Amino acid sequence: MGDDVKLDLDARFEHARDVIRSAGKRAMEYFDGSAGDLEVEAKENPLDMVSIADKNVEAIIRDQIADTFPEDGFLGEEMGIEKGDNDCLWVIDPIDGTACFVNQMPSWCISIALVVKGKIEIALIYQPCGKELFSARRGQGALANGEPIKASEAKTVGDGVMGLGMSHRTTGDAIMPFIKDLLDRKGIFMRNGSGALSMAYAAAGRMIGYYEPHINPWDCLAGILLMQEAGGWANDYLGAPDALEKGAPILTAGPNVAEELKSMTGISR
What is the model's pLDDT at position 49?
A: 53
Is the pLDDT at 149 greater than 70? The verdict is yes
What is the model's pLDDT at position 59?
A: 95
CA distances (Å), origin 71, targets 8, 62, 66, 268 = 12, 12, 7, 36
Give the confidence band of 1 by pLDDT, cuts at 50, 70, 90.
Answer: very low
* Total Cβ atoms within 10 A of residue 17: 16
What is the model's pLDDT at position 38?
A: 64
Kindly give the residue spans of alpha helices, DSSP state H, lying in 141-194.
176-184
What confidence tens digit (pLDDT) does each residue in 99-129 have?
Answer: 899 888 999 999 999 999 999 999 999 999 9
Give the confidence band of 2 by pLDDT, cuts at 50, 70, 90.
Answer: very low
Give the confidence band of 146 by pLDDT, cuts at 50, 70, 90.
Answer: very high
What is the model's pLDDT at position 113?
A: 98
What is the model's pLDDT at position 99?
A: 87
* Average pLDDT rounded to a whole number, residues 217-237: 98
Q: Which domains, and CATH codes, for the chain?
A: 3-148 (3.30.540.10), 157-265 (3.40.190.80)
What confidence tens digit (pLDDT) does each residue in 184-198 have?
Answer: 999 999 999 999 999
Do the bridges between strand 119-127 and strand 142-144 make them parallel or antiparallel, or are there none, so unpaired? Answer: unpaired
70 Cα distance to chain centroid: 24
- What single-letter DSSP state applies at residue 180? H
Give CA–CA dist 227/232, Å, rounded.
Answer: 5
Residues 219 and 96 sit within 8 Å (Cβ to Cβ): yes
Burial (Cβ within 10 Å: 0-12, 13-18, ≥19) of residue 22: middle
What is the model's pLDDT at position 42?
A: 64
What confidence tens digit (pLDDT) does each residue in 153-196 have?
Answer: 999 999 999 999 998 888 888 999 999 999 999 999 999 999 99
What confidence tens digit (pLDDT) does each residue in 35-88 have?
Answer: 566 666 666 654 455 678 889 999 999 999 999 999 999 999 888 898 988 999
User: What's the number of CA atoms in the CB half-sphere (13 Å) around residue 166?
Assistant: 14
* Total Cβ atoms within 10 A of residue 1: 13
Give, rounded to a whole angstrom, the gap between the first and last alpha carbons of the chain: 25
Residues 111 and 27 sit within 8 Å (Cβ to Cβ): no
Give CA–CA dist 215/222, Å, rounded.
Answer: 13
CA distances (Å), origin 22, targets 75, 131, 170, 231, 255 = 19, 12, 34, 29, 34
Q: What φ, ψ does residue 251 adopt, rounded to 5°?
A: -145, 125
CA distances (Å), origin 204, targets 19, 79, 208 = 22, 30, 9
Give CA–CA dist 229/223, Å, rounded.
Answer: 10
What is the model's pLDDT at position 266?
A: 95
> 194: helix, coil or strand?
coil
CA distances (Å), origin 267, targets 45, 65, 239 = 26, 35, 12
What is the model's pLDDT at position 43?
A: 63
